[in-house]
């Protein structure tokens, strides 16, 4: 049994104290929003300073958010962008990473260099807008998903992960008559499941939180994602413009704002516990080449 010295105990106390404070700093903003979202609106408006518990109890904010048709349509649009966009991004990133990881692929280094170049330089907002418009994607769902279809860093991580797959697996598959698609989807992807889980997490979080492309490329409010509507609410500090002006919920502005934040944030937070065990392993496998 290990004997702990005074220095070990002092270090552990200091370490846990610092980590506890960091955790509190990171966790408190979410707790503050949650407490505000379920507080009584009158008591909430009277409160100042740090909030360590709800002020009264009321679900009127969530009731208004759920009944708001703009929030409902935005939620559905965000789900579409997240699931469809993530599936397409993972699919095409896997195919690109597989090609770049093959030793026999011609001009592999030159193409990789060009891809990495896009991490540091881009054409700019106006050329991108003109490209999207001229391709006929403007004011469509594709304008939100296609311009960010493949993340350069994610592609490089997946390529490095595929390079760690033993060459003997690929050779044995080719002897059995497997083509590149079979090798990719039945050998490389199952072997690199940890990295794939991390890529799904990265792409889904990026799609869920995305609002800038929608603001630039969409005019139809029926296509707006939830985050863009949330941005409008936070800027205006009110959803009164989206509600019936004769309703009696206009005094709930602060509660509605916090309830909308919770509705927009909670689902993506629920994804993390299911992929946390793959996170460190997947990133390390995909970012370090032996």
Rg (CA), the chain: 24
**pLDDT at position 289:** 47
pLDDT exceeds cutoff 90 at 134? yes
For the chain, the structural domain boundaries read 6-58, 61-287
Q: How far apart are CA 168 and CA 174, in angstroms?
A: 10
Cα 248 to chain centroid distance, Å, stands at 35
Q: Which CATH class is domain 61-287?
A: mainly alpha
**242 touches 68 (CB < 8 A):** yes
Total-model pTM: 0.76
> Is pLDDT larger for residue 245 or for residue 257?
257
Q: What percent of the chain has pLDDT over 70?
A: 88
Q: How far apart are CA 219 and CA 222, in angstroms?
A: 9
């Amino acid at each position: 049994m290990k004997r702990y010295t005074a220095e070990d105990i002092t270090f552990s106390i200091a370490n846990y104290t610092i980590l506890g404070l960091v955790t509190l700093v990171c966790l408190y903003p979410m707790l503050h929003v949650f407490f505000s979202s379920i507080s009584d609106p009158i008591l909430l408006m009277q409160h100042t300073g740090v909030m360590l518990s709800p002020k009264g109890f009321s679900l009127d904010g969530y009731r208004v958010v759920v009944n708001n048709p703009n929030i409902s349509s935005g939620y559905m649009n965000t789900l579409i962008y997240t699931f469809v966009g993530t599936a397409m991004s993972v699919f095409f990133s896997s195919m690109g990473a597989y090609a770049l990881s093959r030793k026999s692929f011609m001009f592999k280094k030159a193409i990789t260099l060009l891809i990495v170049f896009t991490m540091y330089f881009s054409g700019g907002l106006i050329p991108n807008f003109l490209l999207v418009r001229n391709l006929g994607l403007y004011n469509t769902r594709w304008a939100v998903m296609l311009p960010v279809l493949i993340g350069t860093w994610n592609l490089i991580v997946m390529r490095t992960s595929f390079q760690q797959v033993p060459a003997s697996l690929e050779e044995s598959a080719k002897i059995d008559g497997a083509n590149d698609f079979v090798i990719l989807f039945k050998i490389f992807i199952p072997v690199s499941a940890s990295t794939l889980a991390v890529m799904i997490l990265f792409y889904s979080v990026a799609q869920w939180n995305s609002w800038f492309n929608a603001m630039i490329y969409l005019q139809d409010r029926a296509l707006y994602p939830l985050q863009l509507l949330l941005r409008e609410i936070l800027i205006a500090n009110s959803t009164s413009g989206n509600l019936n002006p004769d309703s009696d919920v206009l005094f709930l502005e602060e509660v509605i704002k916090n309830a909308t934040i919770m509705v927009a944030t909670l689902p993506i937070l629920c994804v993390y516990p299911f992929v946390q065990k793959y996170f460190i392993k997947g990133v390390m496998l995909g970012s370090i080449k032996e």
